[in-house]
């Protein structure tokens, strides 16, 4: 029977070990074998990529992480999924595994700030050069491709500024020039967009966000196609970033309701966006909501849904008054990360980490995560705080 993904994420990984509806949390470093021969044959199975129920050593994972790998593999329609202790662990592995000395990488100008730090500060140590491309201009990307370009790293939509790119055009250019493509897909999750099915070689999600969904666990997933599997496997093993069984358990528990939660985030966000776009103090809502806009068209072309993260562009003479707007919100917590059940707001100054995004004078960005609270309460809270903006 062909099952829908909503069913798969609920039913996958029913435990055969303890008969509970959920997998057991298997914490282990040492794994015991009956004999040296059994150990050797197990190692051989792993080497040949045969299906296994457990690893030979805890660093590579446990029964619990294998269950999470299975679920994410279905979600991503991947050849294989690697798990890491944070989303950022997955991002850095992509660069370390896919590039080497002498290579060039092309990175969207609007990537998550720590990703930019890797390319600015870590990759030069290994003689890998980064060029940033304008996410709103495919010609700019094309003009920066050289014979040395090994990887194009895309984050879609862009961090904080939420530009949506014409992804298939990027893939076409990459294929033509024999370049590997990786996408950070944390915003949309593989429920709403599957990068590998479109033609990306690598798809990354911070499992800390919507997969876990409860702001109490961290993890990262890196899904690969056949072409990149061996390269990534090699580095994944040697760099030693491992997801614990406890975090894997929490992420599995979160993923069970990914579809239901995302639908609720989307419904709430639509209501909040409809309120925000009518506010005079808000110049623009950075979210795919205007049918005539490029961002909306590109979102519609690739995604089957939208999630709860957006930014508002505020025009105000006083930065202090925008900070006050954020501080006075009662239901929106101030803090990093997002994707949990709760609403968040944070002031971001991205002007120093962008080459292409042009800020006008007196423009301020506040990033908002719309949680699962009652939207009427959230709107009342926003309305109350907006009055502080001057
Ligand atoms: C949070 C985030 C990451 C990093 O994930 P962590 O789990 O916090 O390490 C990477 N990319 C994007 C787009 C993110 O939002």
CATH domain 78-244 topology: 3.40.640
φ/ψ bin of 19: left (φ > 0), alpha (ψ from -120 to 50), beta (otherwise): left
| Neighbour-count burial for 162-191, b at 16+ CB within 10 Å, e otherwise | bbbbbbeebbebbeeeebbbbbbbbbbbbb
Q: pLDDT tens across 260-296, in order? A: 999 999 999 999 999 999 999 999 999 999 999 999 9
For residues 92, 186, 278, 361, the Cα torsion angle rounded to the nearest 10 degrees is 10
Atom of ligand 1 nearest to the CA of 159: 13
Share of the chain above pLDDT 70, in %: 99
Contact 303, 188 (CB under 8 A): yes
Ligand 1 site residues (CB inside 6 A) read 86-88, 91, 112, 155, 159, 184, 186, 206, 208-209, 218, 220, 337
Supply the pTM of this predicted model.
0.96
Helices 258-276 & 375-386 angle (0-180, nearest 10): 40
Q: What Å distances lie between residue 187 and 56, 79, 206, 230, CA to CA?
A: 34, 22, 9, 27
Could you give phi then psi for residue 115, rounded to 5 degrees?
-65, -40
* CATH code reported for the domain at 258-386: 3.90.1150.10
Please report how the helices 63-76 and 245-255 are oriented relative to each other, as an axis angle in degrees rounded to 10: 40
Q: Please pick, among 27, 59, 175, 176, the residue that the annotation labels catalytic.
A: 59
Axis crossing angle, helix 319-328 with helix 375-386, rounded to the nearest 10: 150
Spatial separation of the C-alpha atoms in residues 284 and 378, rounded to whole Å = 19
pLDDT in tens, the chain (390 residues): 888 999 989 887 655 667 788 888 999 999 999 999 999 999 898 888 888 888 899 999 999 999 999 999 999 999 999 999 999 999 999 999 999 999 999 999 999 999 999 999 999 999 999 999 999 999 999 999 999 999 999 999 999 999 999 999 999 999 999 999 999 999 999 999 999 999 999 999 999 999 999 999 999 999 999 999 999 999 999 999 999 999 999 999 999 999 999 999 999 999 999 999 999 999 999 999 999 999 999 999 999 999 999 999 999 999 999 999 999 999 999 999 999 999 999 999 988 889 998 888 899 999 999 999 999 999 999 999 999 999
Is residue 209 annotated as part of the catalytic site, yes or no? yes
Question: Which regions of the chain carry the CATH code 3.40.640.10?
Answer: 78-244
Domain with CATH 3.90.1150.10 in the chain: 258-386
């Amino acid at each position: 029977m062909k099952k829908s993904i909503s069913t798969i994420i609920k039913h996958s990984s029913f435990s055969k070990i303890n008969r509970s509806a959920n997998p057991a949390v298997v914490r282990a470093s040492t794994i015991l074998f009956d004999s040296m021969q059994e150990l050797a044959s197990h190692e051989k199975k792993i080497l040949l990529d045969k299906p296994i129920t457990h690893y030979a050593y805890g660093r590579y994972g446990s029964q619990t992480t294998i269950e999470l790998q299975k679920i994410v593999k279905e979600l991503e329609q991947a050849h294989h999924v690697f798990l890491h202790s944070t989303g950022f662990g997955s991002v850095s592995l992509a660069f370390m595994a896919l590039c080497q000395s002498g290579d060039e990488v092309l990175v969207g100008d609007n990537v998550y700030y720590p990703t930019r730090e890797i390319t600015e500060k870590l990759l030069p140590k290994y003689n890998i050069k980064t060029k940033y491309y304008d996410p709103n201009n495919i010609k700019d990307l094309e003009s920066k491709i050289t014979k040395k370009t090994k990887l194009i790293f895309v984050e879609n939509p862009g961090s904080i500024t939420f530009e949506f790119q014409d992804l298939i055009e990027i893939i076409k250019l990459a294929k033509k020039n024999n370049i590997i493509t990786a996408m950070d897909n944390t915003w949309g999750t593989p429920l709403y967009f599957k990068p590998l099915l479109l033609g990306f070689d690598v798809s990354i999600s911070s499992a800390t966000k919507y997969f876990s969904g409860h702001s109490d666990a961290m993890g990262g997933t890196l899904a690969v196609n056949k072409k990149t599997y061996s390269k990534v496997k090699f580095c994944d093993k040697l760099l030693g970033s491992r997801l614990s069984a406890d975090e894997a358990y929490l992420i599995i528990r979160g993923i069970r309701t990914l579809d239901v939660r995302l639908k609720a985030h989307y419904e709430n966000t639509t209501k909040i966006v409809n309120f925000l776009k009518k506010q005079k103090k808000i110049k623009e809502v950075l979210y795919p909501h205007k049918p005539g806009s490029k961002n909306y068209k590109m979102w519609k072309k690739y995604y089957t849904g939208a999630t709860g993260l957006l930014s508002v562009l505020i025009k105000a003479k006083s930065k202090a008054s925008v900070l006050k707007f954020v501080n006075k919100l009662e239901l929106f917590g101030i803090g990093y990360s997002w994707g949990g059940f709760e609403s968040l707001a944070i002031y971001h100054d991205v002007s120093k980490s962008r080459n292409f995004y042009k800020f006008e004078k007196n423009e301020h960005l506040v990033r908002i995560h719309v949680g699962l609270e009652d939207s009427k309460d959230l709107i009342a809270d926003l309305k109350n705080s907006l009055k502080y903006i001057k």
